[in-house]
Structure 1
């Protein structure tokens, strides 16, 4: 009985080793794995946006800024990443920006349909090559998307 168990165990070890060797010889390309963004709960006030993990841009500052810093680090290192940025107008309307980086380009979605003065035409999409910095006339520095397919891109976030 011991001999049978030992033989079975030896066969399993050899098969496992062979399978591992074969896996190392093959190059495997993994698809871009992105998790979906948390559901947007209307009216999507700043507290809800912060709790959903959004980077929240208010006229008084930025909440969850660490999430933006992590996204920027991943883009710099060419690692897949995603972030949702919710900016609020002076009137308090949310404008939602979703950025998904696949290691080479940023897929950008812009949704201002929840803003009183926003569009009712749905979400706008664009593909951009990277993120750069721009200085405003007032001297403030902003991150902006660069190399976008569409000429005008409404995304910017203040540098902290």
Structure 2
């Protein structure tokens, strides 16, 4: 059993250590990180999962970006400690956070990831949304949280300043 709670400032270094454990050393060189630099994660949607001993098992973050002048959530990273993988914790974090997004005023979300994995959460390729290079366009995925939210939203993903 896990307790899901909003990430706080006290969680920062523990979450960063989890991301270092789960991802390659060059993770911060990815183009999505250029969109995140100097921008705080979205409060209330960036979540941590702790077990009954209070040990961090997983985390998910969201960042504000803009596409075609519209506000968009950028999901990622989501990580689960290697000893906890296969328990459905990443799915729980994704579903829980997306359920909380609409009441906070968000209408659309995007990510860079594997379509077969994220497709089960309603994500599909965004043909007219361009991430900074060298992102593979096949991995740029989005989901409308409100019907029609991606209609007419096209262009480059821009950093919120």
Does the TM-score normalized on the shorter chain lie above 0.5? no
Question: TM-score, normalization: structure 1?
Answer: 0.30
From the two aligned structures, give the one with the greater helix fraction.
Answer: 2
Question: TM-score, normalization: structure 2?
Answer: 0.29
Higher RCO (C-alpha 8 Å, min separation 6): 2
Which protein is bigger by CA-based radius of gyration?
1
